[in-house]
Structure 1
Amino acid sequence: MDARAESSGDDAVPEVPEQSVVLISAGASHSVALLSGKMVCSWGRGEDGQLGHGDAEDRPVPTVLTAFDVPGISSVICGADHTTAYSEDEMQLFSWGWGDFGRLGHGNSTDVFNPLPIQALQGIKIKQIACGDSHCLAVTVNGQVHSWGRNQNGQLGLGNNEDSLLPQKIQAFEGVRISMIAAGAEHTVAVTEDGDLYGWGWGRYGNLGLGDRDDRFVPEKVSPVEGEKMALVACGWRHSVTVSSSGGLYTYGWSKYGQLGHGDFQDHLVPHKVEALKDSSISQVAGGWRHTMAVTEDGKLYGWGWNKFGQVGVADNEDHCSPVQVNFPDEQKISQVACGWRHTLALTENKNVFSWGRGTSGQLGHGEIVDRNIPKMIDALSLDGYACKQLEASNAAPMTAEAWVTPSARYAIVPDENVCKSGNGTDTHVQHSDAKRMRV
């Protein structure tokens, strides 16, 4: 909806902007936006190729992926240090960025600096993508789930703890239709079309909602909460959020920084209702590294949790263990919110984009590298600013050019690191390793 459209008579047609933002997403230290013309722009940290501009440079302002000329892009989703985009016209999922543990789904662990198609998912109609720290999942229009990437705690739901370099269907959901999925650092949650909630992966803080702190290698159903059917899910780094079909908000998992919003700093092993918002109907939720954001049906935005860099957006840098309303100029209503690790993005109903929190990699999009603890409009993307008419353009080579960058060309391998292994003559699985790669 364009709140700026004006009518000069009964037969007047509201003016439709040539370009406006329709979707936002945030990674660890980078951000992306999908424009109405199906163009993708990105900004922030680019060291691992996650911006998709063909290089490892940071971008302090939104920059269009000029070489990504694919029709019908309908979704762009950030992982921590990688990015995915789906084309409805081509029925093709693309990925780029840091490739460790197979999180890009290309059959190897190589970094990618331009968008590349995930061949294993070619021709599959996808309705939703979820990206965590090092793993990804895709939900098909038929409610099936494919997962790939790191799996040391079973977060892929495949019944083992072997990383997967290629997407694999979660067999445990045979006969179950998934509506929505969300990925944390090392865990995953999902809600079915029937309103059932599932969790799997790393569960040390109760973030699976199963009443204990154990890991799960396959999806397990969460016990019903107050008879409610669930409709939405989101994950923070080690906490989870779900919204019932009636708009009730529930959180569970890690709460050292108050990210559960219950007025304390206590972990919860099962979904627990956020009483401070019991009189509000929640329409959208997002989880950051250690903070949480929620949008109400009437367009108000609330935030809580870790706030060292101002990522909660309430004009201070103190942690908040209860929801606090975030204020916007002219009381603009919020239609979307996205959490990065330490920064937050919001899209208003009248097509303005705001950002706040950590800014040292340019992920706030203001052309500077400073932190902010209140929302500031990104002029380049907002209808009350330059209305996407003065966006920077990348100088990346066309998609047909070389997009791969081998790890050996960019990193020094730590001695004694476990070596990747092949499984049954394929390169589908890699051996679990906690080894770190170090910059050369």
Structure 2
Amino acid sequence: MEESEQVKIEEKIERLWSWGAGTDGQLGTGRLQDEQIPQQLSLSLPSVSSLACGGAHVIALTSDGKVLSWGRGNSGQLGHGEVVNNLLYPKAITSLDNYFITHVSAGWGHSGFVSDSGCLFTCGDGSFGQLGHGDYASHSSPIKVSSFVDQNVAQVACGMRHSLVLLKGCLSNQVYGFGSGKRGQLGVSKDKIKSINLPKVISGFEDEEIVGISANGDHSAALSVDGHLYTWGRGFKGYEDSHLPQCLNSTSKFTKVTLGWNHALAMTGEGKVYMLGGNHLGVLSDLHNARPAKSLFDSREANLEKAPGLDGTKITDIATGAEHSVLVTENGEIKTWGWGEHGQLGLGDDGDRISPVTVNLGYDLNEAASIRVYCGSGFTFALTKP
């Protein structure tokens, strides 16, 4: 094969980079160490369509409906039928080979998988009921959640110790929660709930069609087809916890929301990005002079800040870790900010940043390349496709 032909082939394949916390093997580099600059992975992976990053493990979903996982496996969250401290390289979850998986999610120590037939499988830490099997047992292989055997599951979202489920094609009883509920993150009752181990429907969406769900830390969120953003659970900076979904009072129509432990990013269809909450490790600007805190049940638009320093640049993707954030511009730049102790900002040091800074992948991307970003608690992945 001529060199020019080899270059053309290489340009057409997807590429995967990782950086940040890596002491559990979650970066897929084969090394148990943090990385402060992006590492391009030389892995023989099938075509990867998306990733899910958890506390310290990663799940890869391929275009042909297969799943692989790596990283920390101390609670069985990798789904390989055994408990392992760490797995350095991607390994196929063979127990799901008879299913075409369409959606995956990774929590702190548990994982969720949705098939094209609408089945939900969970594995990992179940000590708070977050696996939804009616007990508090942990499992090292994906187990079908029987509560949805006659339902059609579309998405699963795994948080720190809780899970959300979105059903397909129904306007009532469409979102469910289970697991830890001490901060209201289950959204199933006004009363405080320690935990529940079976899925329970979340009220408040009777007049909305929900198309997306998100969970991280003790937070939960949902997006409607009309672009309305709902949040519940632990209150963002200056706001009380909410035990039921609350709609953000904003005229913007949101298309994606991602949650950290103390903040959230929300992106509009026009490519604008806003931030909720945050603290000194994740803020976009000085919140010490922000307006006085209000009750969660007052207008929360005052707590919604537009991401600065982007000069009107359109944003095409967003992701949030525990206390760091990542976005992709329409020009193909990856920008990060927030907590940087493990190198998760990819800037060559362990410092924090309060505004977005461009990451150098060390590789010139094709202008037409599609870039998606994903965050675990203290690490980051970038997936590029031609």
* Matches of 1:349 and 1:265, distance apart in 2: 41
Structure 1 match to 2:384: 348
Partner SS for 1:67:
helix
Sequence identity (%): 33
In structure 2, relative to structure 1, the CA distance for the partners of 1:98 and 1:323 (3 Å cut) is same
| 2:207 paired with 1:183 | no
Give runs of aligned pairs for residues 91-106 of structure 1, distance below 5 A: 91-106=118-133
In structure 2, relative to structure 1, the CA distance for the partners of 1:126 and 1:298 (3 Å cut) is farther
Residues 249 and 278 of structure 1 are in contact (CA less than 8 Å); yes or no, is this contact kept in structure 2?
no
Residues 114 and 154 of structure 2 are in contact (CA less than 8 Å); yes or no, is this contact kept in structure 1?
no
Structure 1 outlier segments of 4+, above 3 Å:
2-6, 263-269
Structure 1 match to 2:106: 78
The offset of 1:196, in angstroms, is: 1.6
Residues 132 and 197 of structure 2 are in contact (CA less than 8 Å); yes or no, is this contact kept in structure 1?
yes
Structure 1: gaps spanning 5 or more residues: 7-16, 207-211, 351-440
* Matches of 2:45 and 2:196, distance apart in 1: 41
Letter in 2 for 1:176: E
Cα-to-partner distance string for 1:101-150 (whole Å, 9 max, x where unaligned): 11011111100000111111124333332211011112222362111111
| 2:285 paired with 1:262 | yes
TM-score calculated relative to the size of structure 2 = 0.80
Give runs of aligned pairs for residues 139-154 of structure 1, distance below 5 A: 139-142=166-169, 144-154=174-184
* Matches of 1:125 and 1:3, distance apart in 2: 39
The offset of 1:100, in angstroms, is: 1.4
In structure 2, relative to structure 1, the CA distance for the partners of 1:274 and 1:141 (3 Å cut) is same
* Matches of 2:288 and 2:144, distance apart in 1: 42
Structure 2 match to 1:382: none
Structure 1 match to 2:234: 202
* Matches of 2:358 and 2:175, distance apart in 1: 35
Give runs of aligned pairs for residues 129-144 of structure 1, distance below 5 A: 129-142=156-169, 144=174
Partner SS for 1:51:
coil
Residues 69 and 92 of structure 2 are in contact (CA less than 8 Å); yes or no, is this contact kept in structure 1?
yes
Residues 255 and 266 of structure 1 are in contact (CA less than 8 Å); yes or no, is this contact kept in structure 2?
no
Structure 2: gaps spanning 5 or more residues: 1-8, 14-43, 294-302
The offset of 1:199, in angstroms, is: 1.6
* Matches of 2:63 and 2:278, distance apart in 1: 37
* Matches of 2:70 and 2:245, distance apart in 1: 35
| 2:31 paired with 1:4 | no
Match of 1:222 among 235, 245, 248: 248
Structure 2 match to 1:402: none
In structure 2, relative to structure 1, the CA distance for the partners of 1:19 and 1:100 (3 Å cut) is same
* Matches of 2:256 and 2:213, distance apart in 1: 8
The offset of 1:334, in angstroms, is: 5.1
Letter in 1 for 2:377: W
Match of 1:247 among 271, 294, 299: 271
Partner SS for 2:132:
coil
Partner SS for 1:120:
helix
* Matches of 1:323 and 1:164, distance apart in 2: 39
| 2:83 paired with 1:56 | yes
Q: Which has the larger radius of gyration?
A: 1
In structure 2, relative to structure 1, the CA distance for the partners of 1:260 and 1:149 (3 Å cut) is same
In structure 2, relative to structure 1, the CA distance for the partners of 1:266 and 1:178 (3 Å cut) is farther
Partner SS for 1:331:
coil
In structure 2, relative to structure 1, the CA distance for the partners of 1:214 and 1:33 (3 Å cut) is same
Partner SS for 1:101:
coil
TM-score calculated relative to the size of structure 1 = 0.70
* Matches of 1:123 and 1:331, distance apart in 2: 48
Cα-to-partner distance string for 1:323-358 (whole Å, 9 max, x where unaligned): 0111223323452211111111111114xxxxxxxx
Match of 1:34 among 61, 65, 69: 61
Letter in 2 for 1:214: E
Match of 1:165 among 175, 192, 197: 197
Match of 1:19 among 34, 46, 54: 46
Q: CA RMSD in A?
A: 2.2
How many pairs were matched up? 329
| 2:179 paired with 1:156 | no
Letter in 1 for 2:233: G
